[in-house]
Structure 1
């Protein structure tokens, strides 16, 4: 296995009608499809009263050997997940632009407030791929506590003045 692994992932978004003066719809990721290709983006897949599912994008899921700790933590959860990061979440159609298996990377995108990371259950095919990638590339690094340095050394503190004013 290479130092990184990549697979194409289809992203399915749900548009749901909401009662809000600011937005007509709420969007969320409802599924991912491993190895999906050949679908036209924004193809309607299913619909019901007040909701519609769209095949929104085909994105790469890239696994990196330096992120195996995040993948391990993800796989240790009761329901391992993939994270789909959406841009322009308040627009008429959000833009899926990243799929990751690392919860730390997904969390980094949440900080700015410009993007949102939706969590969806990891399909079994991806679960086995990520598990094999971890076994091949993970190197357990021992925890080392950072040693704090004094802000001011004792030698640099001036002696108390003998004369007071």
Structure 2
């Protein structure tokens, strides 16, 4: 489903950042847009920055279920600082939007992308819920079994047989005549 990403530019609150850029809303079913101004309130401006496809995969239904059952169901917008975007005066490239909190966490872990949590409109919640109901299959828990070999194999102090040793590998260092350790 195509979803428009609304990004709000507002004055920064520190002297190190002149502007603050945040994804604040979604426009389900939106057409293409390249940083089209939607609304202006004083110095704050909202842009329809981009339209991206939100794709749902049948293998990710567990993640979608967790996302829509949250207190505030959300879509995660992944953005990146981009050199191409700076030409046009817009500092961010919208990479993707996802309904999976697990996928969003993967992008957040890299530290290279900016991940914003944006509340999901009711129509989008219904669309994801319908998809989950149609494709979700509970996976039964399978306990992993240990190998059949014995864990407590005794080595009798021999160590690695590939390394020739004169004595026990657990020996204490021997003091030499001049006080040095061997």
Sort the TM-score into its range (normalised by shorter chain): 0.7 to 0.9
SS in 1 for 2:50: strand
Per-residue CA deviation, residues 100-159 of structure 1 (Å, 9 max, x unaligned), is 000000011011111121111111111111111101111101223444669x8322x311
SS in 2 for 1:14: strand
For residue 95 of structure 2, the aligned residue among 92, 97, 102 is: 97
Q: Quote the offset at 1:76 in angstroms.
A: 1.1
Q: Which protein is richer in strand relative to its size? A: 1
For residue 22 of structure 2, the aligned residue among 3, 19, 28 is: 28
Match of 2:8 in 1: 14
Larger of the two Rg values belongs to structure: 2
Name stretches of at least 5 consecutive residues in structure 1 with no aligned partner.
1-6
Match of 1:143 in 2: 141
The separation in 2 between residues aligned to 1:77 and 1:63, in whole angstroms, is: 18
SS in 2 for 1:105: helix
Q: Quote the offset at 1:22 in angstroms.
A: 3.1
Matches within 5 A, 1:48-127: 48-88=41-81, 93-127=91-125
The separation in 1 between residues aligned to 2:146 and 2:50, in whole angstroms, is: 47
Instruction: Flag the 1:45–1:64 CA change in 2: closer, same or farther, 3 A.
Output: same
For residue 42 of structure 1, the aligned residue among 35, 41, 55 is: 35
The separation in 2 between residues aligned to 1:55 and 1:154, in whole angstroms, is: 64
Per the normalisation by structure 1, the TM-score is 0.83
Name stretches of at least 5 consecutive residues in structure 2 with no aligned partner.
159-166, 173-182
The separation in 1 between residues aligned to 2:5 and 2:126, in whole angstroms, is: 19
Query: RMSD between aligned alpha carbons?
Result: 2.6
Per the normalisation by structure 2, the TM-score is 0.76
Q: Quote the offset at 1:89 in angstroms.
A: 7.7
The separation in 1 between residues aligned to 2:67 and 2:13, in whole angstroms, is: 35
